Structure 1
Amino acid sequence: MAFIENKILEITDNELRKTISDEVKKLKEKTQFGLVFEQHIPEVVPIYNSKIIVKSLVALKKGKITDLYRVKKINNDDVELRSEQDRSIISVRLDEVFGVKKFGDPIFPALIPMDYVDNDSDVTHTLIEADNFHALQLLEYVYPNKIDCIYIDPPYNTGSKDWKYNNNFVDEKDVYRHSKWLSFMKKRLNLAKHLLTDDGALIIAIDDYEVAHLIVLLEEIFPGHECNVVIVNHHPQGAGGDNISRTHEYALFLTPKGKKVLKGKREEGVAEEWSLARSGRDRRNYRFGRPNSFYAIHVDPETLEIKGVGPKLGKDDEFSTDDTEEGYKRIYPISKKDNSQRVWRYERSSMIKKIDQNLIKCTPNFSLKVIKKSNTKYRPVFSNWYGSRYNAGTHGTDLLAKIFGESADFPYPKALYTVYDALEAVLQDKKEAFVLDFFAGSGTTLNALALLNSSDGGKRKSILITNNEVSEEEGKSLEKKGLYPGHPEWDKNGICRAITFPRSKFILNGKRDNGDILEGFYSTGKTLALEKTRKVTQLGFVDGKTLNGKLKKQLVSLVGITQTKIKATTPFFVDEKNNKCILFDDTQVDLFLEEIDGKVNLTNFYIATTNSSAFRVIKEAIQESLGTYVILQDEEMPLSKGFKENLAYFKLDFLDPNEVALGKQFNKILPILWMMAGAKGNPQKLYNENERIPYLISEDGSLAILLQENKFRDFHSKVNEINNITIFIVTNSEEAFFEMKSEFSTNKVMRLYHNYLKNFEINRYWR
């Protein structure tokens, strides 16, 4: 096209040039540039448990799902079918067919409760067993522009039958493999984009088989977003490929252009920490040199909390070392070595300000430290993630085995901390976010989100969607037994019921159904500050001050200190880069102590002396001068602790719109209304099957439904003052609905069933 446009510029006739140029412009607007692939239509989805009625669209359990039939007659257990292809008529048993939906057909979804994990929490996750396209259509109604983050790990299309199209596994021999995958993904991503908030992020795990195609597809579907690629080194031992053993996969972060959405790990708090008492031989470090910096600091001996400071003292004033009347310990800057009266780093007024700012801390051995705090900032999100944290064997396959107590039949689960870090990059400042995963697999996203909530006190909720397919091998084995999808024995082996839900339930409860507690530990993402004593080592086999330069270099090399600038006359050497130092001449200890004063990063000291008495004195002086130091260590949490969060598990079903309009399917629509009201509490507690109730109000005040218009006044008096409540009104009259709606203070008022039916009738088009 660019070549043609250049040739157009060479046309000398102005009118002809303009005419052709305008026509080319129209062609460009209609023509797809970049990624071109077959749009496979239709994609057909099995509905195994749907009610078969006359005019239902069905397929044969022993046939291809793409060979479709329309139900003509039903006679008890037999059914007469007409082929959609050649109009031929066949008769089969009713239990030999199942319902199907073409993409684009209108659907009227319902959620059937399957199970509930109740941990008495105000955080409830949702798991939906369904084909994800129809589930996404439902979520577009429930959560339009309300999802803060979508994380998906779709099939990688490796050719090893890792996914199905039209109910058939796609293998490497399928010439349409790539275009089927792209068509499959495009339909779902077109729906997903309507769910994201304005600053929401889409994260997709993918590998080399489709990453290039996927990036171009994302650019087409999300023109207002940018795609950032992160390399995740998840398989350090390497796998696959005749020429290259792959050790990596990718995480694609799709974020709105011009918005700062991604943030690395938060860094705040302690930047430095050092002893509060001054040391060294300078007179300014003694009471007589700086009397205003000598006073008591009061510490609660039980909690080590700083409670205040003692009175101002003159340079010769006497002072009490006994506990205060409140029982607080008085701590003075007095040397433990020689009882000399030293000084604090700050005068009394400055010290009070530091205490008020929580910058002074007392250690278990009652030494005091000053903490220099940094402002909150974030590390950048780097484009290459590596390390044991992302190992899919250790934190994916092995973790799943710990959760189930045995090897789980699920290939290539994602490493928990890969998902954790990806979610944290988007959500660390969004503690009440909604997260969606519509390729939920083994349930790693819920696990990672629960761990993130536990680490930072968040109340984020996840919505997981997964089908209940079995592997090809398992499917063939079950078919030999005469079993097909929809049979209880088949369904219990499906991914949702055998892996996703059990894993989610076990990790929330911290134990399996048989009562066995889960073994192992999570890394919480937090760090613990552990107080450590500086290591002082005597090199008693040599008198350092007698060594020449060459021997000194050999000695420092022995203990891992750099040889740079070591000379024969060097009495000591400080290697701050490696946090080490060495004293050769034990008679130069005063100069050595002045040199290391304040260098709190030094942790390892080597004293080259044969004099053990001198070594002990030097060791005490070093430890008094610098005190202890703090190291940061990853905090761990046992899997057995579980998470105080709930999980509602549903199966997607489809309703007859006429029955909906007549109010006959209220209980099946109720979970959808529960989700729209924020998915709070146990949805099973909303059901009332015993009587025709005039209205329903949830216990937590998040949801209210008026079922009988003549009870409006009573209903209004009960719900109008409840904050953040979502209200549904069942009425056939549009005029009556708007009249009732106008009397509520909230704007979250919707009409049933008209709103529901209208939405799903309109949203039946292709995307």
Structure 2
Amino acid sequence: MSRLTDLLRTAKQLDPQLGEDLEAEVRPLQERLPFGLNFERHAPEAVELAGHKIRKGSKVRVLPPRGSTERGDQRIWVVKSIRGDSAEIVVPNGEAVETASAQIDDLILVAEFRDRIYPGLRPDGSVERGDDKPFHTVINGENFHALEQLTFTHEQSVDAIYIDPPYNSGARDWKYNNDYVEGDDLYRHSKWLAFMERRLKLAKRLLKPDNSVLVVTIDEKEHLRLGLLLEQTFPEASIQMVSSQINPAAVARSGQFGRSDEYLFFVMIGEAGPQRLPLGGDWVTTKGRTHKGAIRWDLLRRSAENAARTDRPGMFYPIYIERGTTRIANIGDPIPLNADRTAVATPEHQEAIWPIRKDGSEGRWRLGPSAAREAWNAGYLRVGSNKGENSPVYYLARGEQKKINDGIYEVVGHADDGSVVTSTLDASERNVVPATQWRISSHDSTQYGSRLIALLLPGRKFPFPKSLYAVEDTLRFFVADKPEAVVLDFFAGSGTTAHAVMRLNHQDGGRRQCISVTNNEVSAEEQVKLRKDGLRPGDSNWESLGICNYVTKPRLRAAITGDTPDGEPIKGDYKSIDEFPMSEGFEENAAFFTLTYESPWRVGTDRAFAAIAPMLWLRAGAVGRRIDAISNGWEVADSYGIINDLDQSSEFIAALQAAENVRIAYIVTDDEGRYQQLANELPGVETVRLYEDYLRNCEITGDF
């Protein structure tokens, strides 16, 4: 393409219109990314939805007999009719159509990702200790469909997304199209990329375009492909990768180096960037940086590129010191490029310092002579030790001078050589941004991941949980100054991200909220045992052992209440920055939901309000009372109101005006004119037309 670009440039010079026409034809070819990340975009995924109601027209699979561990029939059938406990199902079979009869109990609902879905939420309980604080929410469901649902409730509203996706290790740690992806699958990398791209594109719609961050953790198996995928999906973002030690002991690998770290990709959108924070000893670097609490004196002699005398002859001049001391006496002028420095006369009782590099060659100073004299007069220039013409000279750069002017550092006196002596900062005042190598003791995933879960949920295990403090520290760089930030984790696993957000709120009184999305998958090993016992997905004994029900929800309940699932106070204390007994819990609220699949007809005719109601509450900020039913034509809660009888508009408007914190008014009507009329009478309040806006959003997302 580079040669083609040159030819197009030449064509434009000869004939501007021809050049523009050719460029317009070539641009679509360039967008095919022949030099970018190319992979097979496999057929859209399909997911089995245990426990969801099967209706006429539903897509289903036929489950293997109870007690069998076989994979079963993977064809997707369509329910033609239902009679009692049985259904007639059909599936294309070549040019013919195969028909069969099956018990409803032997069928499981299937959703294909190419299909439009109309999501809802079924409440599964809550825990409330946070008074009027927003609720953290946990959604049990397929995360792609949950992201589709969130485009209605949170489009361009999320401040930070933190995800820990499957690492594609080949160890049956994730599924594609209802199958575990094995290590010998020739397309496993391609499947993983297709799997991730679909979700990242939806996630992009949720992030605030002016200031937000996406953090993705990964190891060496997919970090190269992930980096390219992020570059392609977020071309406008600033992307940086950090290496973080998560296991100081390292995991031994046959024939390989032991693995002790993982990678974090930071996708910074708009004005987002890591904030300067007061960091502890583990984060401190060396060489006298501000991390140590002292003001930073930089070497005046330039190093690295463009550091030779010949690069900037005007920056090659002598600095004179009193003989035998480090006190500066004067600053000379640049000498001609062809002049010999040894021929320059030195005043009596003085010594000349020149910018001589370590290899003996002539270098240059960072400041010109007039700027150097200005710094010297202000006390911002000093000599480190007397080593003749090679004596090191240090200065305070403009950024450090500004810290003095802003009062961050106080000038407490002057040294014998006239240079300023400043105050130092204690640990709580050292606001810095760390480097890209993190070796933080509290990020140990064994000590503060696995063992911490064992304290919260005795007897329960979760594979490879993140250190609570690692997630907390990561988020802090981007939400420390956002006390009401919305954080999303759609690979929520054990719930570490929500737990970390609670920790952040505890430290500064924030009202941040976390949306956690996880499925209720049972591990591959556990599935075999359960199937041999005659259980299936959807059975209560099976579902009770799924990730969401067995780990995620109980963990967050335990974190908030301070009690284990058995009602015992949690043993142990939180560490790192904010230390207190775990048994104290958090003054937070959390609500739990299961993703449901509604029909557009039921939604449009107001027959699915119970399923849509939690989404309306989420969109209004997930704060205060939730409106689960409307009995008198309208209802107003803490942050929103709903009206489905427009003949009562006057009463509804009066109630909204009397409320203090109402953000949204939902208006249920098929009449566009009446909707606009009521919306015009609610200045300063966002209005949403139901169910038109919801259905339109589902249709747009379904075409995604």
In the alignment, residue 88 of structure 1 is paired with which amino acid? Answer: E
* Distance in 2 between residues matched to 1:416 and 1:512, nearest whole Å: 17
- SS of the equivalent of 2:88 reads strand
1:44, 1:66 within 8 Å by CA — same for their partners in 2?
Answer: no
In the alignment, residue 243 of structure 1 is paired with which amino acid? Answer: Q
Shift in Å at residue 499 of structure 1? 0.4
Q: 1:670 aligns with which of 613, 624, 634?
A: 613
The Cα offsets for residues 341-368 of structure 1, whole Å up to 9 and x where unpaired, read as xxxxxxxxxxxxxxxxxx9xxxxxxxxx
Change in 2 beyond 3 A, CA 1:27/1:120: closer
Q: 2:550 aligns with which of 473, 494, 498?
A: 498
Change in 2 beyond 3 A, CA 1:261/1:88: same
Q: Which residue of 2 aligns with 1:655?
A: 598
Q: 2:436 aligns with which of 383, 399, 403?
A: 383
Is the aligned partner of 1:519 residue 2:581? no
* Distance in 1 between residues matched to 2:9 and 2:605, nearest whole Å: 66
My pick for the range that moved more, 253-262 or 440-449, is 253-262
In the alignment, residue 684 of structure 2 is paired with which amino acid? Answer: T
- SS of the equivalent of 1:105 reads coil
Change in 2 beyond 3 A, CA 1:110/1:206: same
Is the aligned partner of 1:177 residue 2:188? yes
Shift in Å at residue 377 of structure 1? 6.1
Change in 2 beyond 3 A, CA 1:115/1:9: closer
2:614, 2:628 within 8 Å by CA — same for their partners in 1?
Answer: no
In the alignment, residue 452 of structure 1 is paired with which amino acid? Answer: L
* Distance in 2 between residues matched to 1:651 and 1:10, nearest whole Å: 60
1:157, 1:163 within 8 Å by CA — same for their partners in 2?
Answer: yes
Change in 2 beyond 3 A, CA 1:656/1:22: closer
Q: Which residue of 2 aligns with 1:637?
A: 580
The alignment yields a C-alpha RMSD, in angstroms, of 2.8
* Distance in 1 between residues matched to 2:212 and 2:682, nearest whole Å: 31
In the alignment, residue 671 of structure 2 is paired with which amino acid? Answer: S
1:724, 1:746 within 8 Å by CA — same for their partners in 2?
Answer: no
Is the aligned partner of 1:440 residue 2:492? yes
* Distance in 2 between residues matched to 1:21 and 1:73, nearest whole Å: 56
1:66, 1:166 within 8 Å by CA — same for their partners in 2?
Answer: no
Shift in Å at residue 50 of structure 1? 2.6
* Distance in 2 between residues matched to 1:41 and 1:223, nearest whole Å: 25
Q: Which residue of 2 aligns with 1:203?
A: 215
Shift in Å at residue 6 of structure 1? 7.2
Change in 2 beyond 3 A, CA 1:522/1:92: same
1:234, 1:249 within 8 Å by CA — same for their partners in 2?
Answer: yes
* Distance in 2 between residues matched to 1:127 and 1:492, nearest whole Å: 16
Runs of 5+ unmatched residues, structure 1: 273-358, 360-370, 527-635
Q: Which residue of 2 aligns with 1:716?
A: 653
Larger-Rg structure? 1
Q: Which residue of 2 aligns with 1:118?
A: 128
Is the aligned partner of 1:740 residue 2:681? no
* Distance in 2 between residues matched to 1:180 and 1:723, nearest whole Å: 50
1:235, 1:391 within 8 Å by CA — same for their partners in 2?
Answer: yes
Q: Which residue of 1 aligns with 2:250?
A: 238
1:44, 1:65 within 8 Å by CA — same for their partners in 2?
Answer: no
* Distance in 1 between residues matched to 2:652 and 2:7, nearest whole Å: 73
My pick for the range that moved more, 659-668 or 464-473, is 659-668
In the alignment, residue 237 of structure 1 is paired with which amino acid? Answer: A
- SS of the equivalent of 1:728 reads strand
Q: 1:475 aligns with which of 527, 530, 539?
A: 527
TM-score, normalising length: structure 1 = 0.68
Shift in Å at residue 262 of structure 1? 4.0
Change in 2 beyond 3 A, CA 1:265/1:52: same
* Distance in 2 between residues matched to 1:8 and 1:430, nearest whole Å: 48
Q: 2:456 aligns with which of 403, 407, 410?
A: 403
* Distance in 1 between residues matched to 2:573 and 2:639, nearest whole Å: 36
1:524, 1:637 within 8 Å by CA — same for their partners in 2?
Answer: no
Q: Which residue of 2 aligns with 1:165?
A: 176
- SS of the equivalent of 1:720 reads helix
- SS of the equivalent of 1:381 reads coil
In the alignment, residue 90 of structure 2 is paired with which amino acid? Answer: R
Change in 2 beyond 3 A, CA 1:682/1:120: farther
Shift in Å at residue 754 of structure 1? 1.6
Residue correspondence of structure 1 range 292-371 to structure 2 within 5 A: none
Shift in Å at residue 729 of structure 1? 1.3
- SS of the equivalent of 1:451 reads helix
Question: What is the percentage of aligned positions where both structures have the same residue?
Answer: 35
Is the aligned partner of 1:462 residue 2:514? yes
2:87, 2:104 within 8 Å by CA — same for their partners in 1?
Answer: yes
1:720, 1:745 within 8 Å by CA — same for their partners in 2?
Answer: no
In the alignment, residue 603 of structure 2 is paired with which amino acid? Answer: V
Shift in Å at residue 23 of structure 1? 5.5
* Distance in 2 between residues matched to 1:164 and 1:40, nearest whole Å: 13
- SS of the equivalent of 1:255 reads strand
TM-score, normalising length: structure 2 = 0.74
Is the aligned partner of 1:83 residue 2:83? no
Change in 2 beyond 3 A, CA 1:708/1:505: same
2:129, 2:587 within 8 Å by CA — same for their partners in 1?
Answer: yes
